[in-house]
Every structure is written in C-alpha cells, then in structure tokens.
Amino acid sequence: SWLGCELLAADIPLVADSDPKVTEDAEALIGGALTFEVAATDRWSPEDNRDTHPLGDVGQRLHVTRYVVDGFGQRHPVSLGWFRILESPVEDGLVRVRAGELWTVPADYTPIAPIVPVSGSAWDALAEVLADTLPVPPALPAGVADVALGDGVAYDEGRLEAVQALLSVLGLSARVDPAGVIAVYPEPAAVPVLTFRDGVGGTVVSRVPTVGAPAPNAYVVRTVPEGDDPPIQAVAVIDAGPARWGGPSGWRVQTWESPLVTSYAECLATAERLLARAQARARAWKVTAAPDPRLQADDVIRIEWTDHAGASSPLLLRVTQVEHPLTPGSMTITGTEVT
C-alpha cells in the first residue's frame, strides 16, 4: 500500500475464504477491480486514521503481485497492476476493501464545464483530456494514423467518455499497464498469447457457452455537424447467414454518433468495426482454468478441449473478462470467439 511516494505497508494479510480477487473487464469504462477482506485488528482497522492508514480511502493505492512457481520450484513475481482504494468500511470485524484501477483517477476529475480540446488531432486531444491524471505514451502505435478534429468539438459528460470517443475514432483500445501508465493498442491480432488444455496435465477445468443479449445486425454511424449542416451517416449490415439483416434474427440496429467522424468513409469504417465487435461478443464462452496471472483482458487465447469421443475441439477466444484469484483457486475467463 502506497500514499504518494510513501510505502505504508509491504504486505497485507488477506482473509483467505473471502474470495479476494482482481477482475479485468474489457467492455467497461473502468474495467479493473480489486476486492478483498482483512481482519479488523488494531493494526488493520482504518477507522481512526484514514488519512495515512494502509487501507484508508483518501488516495491510497495498492500494487498487487501474484507469483508463478516454475518446474524447479522457483517463484517469479507477476504484477496484476495498481488500484486505488475506493472504500474500506469496517463491518462485522472485517475491513471490506474495494479498489478500482487507475482509470478511477480521471473519472473523479469531473469537469465543471464542457471539455473543449485545443489540439487539432485526436491523439493530442487524448493527452489533453488526461492531463494531470494519467500519463499517456508520447506517440501513437506504429501503423496507426492520427485523425484531425473539427472545430467546436466538446465533451460535457466526463473525461472517460471523452477518452472513449477519441479511442473509438482512432480504432484503438487502452488499458492501464502494470506500471500505472496508459497503454494503447489496435485490435489485437488473432494470435493466441496463451494456450489452455484439458485432460491429464492440462489446465482447463470446464468450458460452457454463455447466452447474452442478441447482437445488432446493423450499425449506423453518423457525424455531429455544426450549425444547420445535415449529418453524414453510413450503415454497416450483416447481409448473409442466420444473423443477416431481415433474416431469422430480425432487424436490430445500434447507432453511434460523434463529432470526430467527419466523412462518409470514416463513418463506414467505424460502423464496420463496431458491428464486427458486437457480433463477436454474441459468441461467448465461460472457461474455468488453473490461474495464470499473465492473462489480461483483450488477450487472445486458445482452448484445446477433447470431447467424449476423443475428438479435439479447439477454441480461439478474445478475453472480455478475467477473474484472478488471490488465494488458491481457479481462474474464471469469459471470452468471445475469434474467427
């Protein structure tokens, strides 16, 4: 536990049967969460001194480390990241700690007036929106083109909503890396970073399909013009297969509009990307496996599974959510199929 540059506690004694865990969710604005409980002894109850206590909730940050044991019995630390304590009430003899990833810092810097970037590009505007809250890399990832901003772009909902809009038009995703710095990246390639196998010596405990809300089969993206100018819009549709527009699944449309898209080509490219992402989310699986703290939300993984007839049935999944246990137990992964 840290407060600024001061180390408040090197280790925190978790209550093992309280299900302490780190959760990452690629679909949420603030996708990283840490929850755990600690016995409320004189040392660990923050009630009388929240300003400087290791479990206080006035800016204290927690760094979480898991250890991987190799075949030789050596322990190797793996960082699960930094989290800011949001609340730590004392109830029934326990300190119940809930912390959020560092996206909570810009989220709490609520603007008192609309955010109007003065920069002329989406990438420079991103650094502007996050100024004084989280560090941003100095340059775009290789191969990603910046997007010019039109005049009069303003955001009145909040910093994170502005970040989300800027990332969408750039075709990027972002996470807070283990060092506490913003890491931005394009849609990950469909190349697995880890493989999980069932059977003897394997790591997969179970896999089951999940049923969610039907995905849209059409996406409309339109500009937000100035004055009386009419908007420009483009539509991407599924035109073949069971999910096709007007087929057995019916007509399901989602709409997204932004002042950052300014041409038909930009609208169409954004609509196609958002539609593909929404369709992928409809083919989801929940996997239980041995814990591996290297896994992150948005990673692509391969699940190798043998059915009752002995046939191999591999799955390629993009991780949308992962729960890392902080005590012995299985890891839970939710992912969408990659085709």
The pLDDT value given to residue 55: 97
Give tens-digit pLDDT for 56-88.
999 999 999 998 887 788 988 999 999 999 999
The pLDDT value given to residue 28: 81
The pLDDT value given to residue 152: 67
Q: What is the pTM of this model?
A: 0.78
Give tens-digit pLDDT for 103-113.
999 888 877 77
Is pLDDT above 90 for 273? no
DSSP secondary structure letters along 178-232: TTS-EEEEESPPS--SEEEE-STT--EEEEEEE--SPPPSEEEEEE--STTPPPP
Supply angle C-alpha 294, 299, 301, rounded to 5. 90
Is pLDDT above 80 for 280? no
Give tens-digit pLDDT for 221-235.
988 877 778 889 999
Predicted confidence band of residue 211 (pLDDT cuts 50, 70, 90): low
The pLDDT value given to residue 249: 77
Beta partners for 121?
148
Phi, psi of 252 (to 5 degrees): -130, 115
CA-closest candidate to residue 83, choices 8, 2, 154: 2
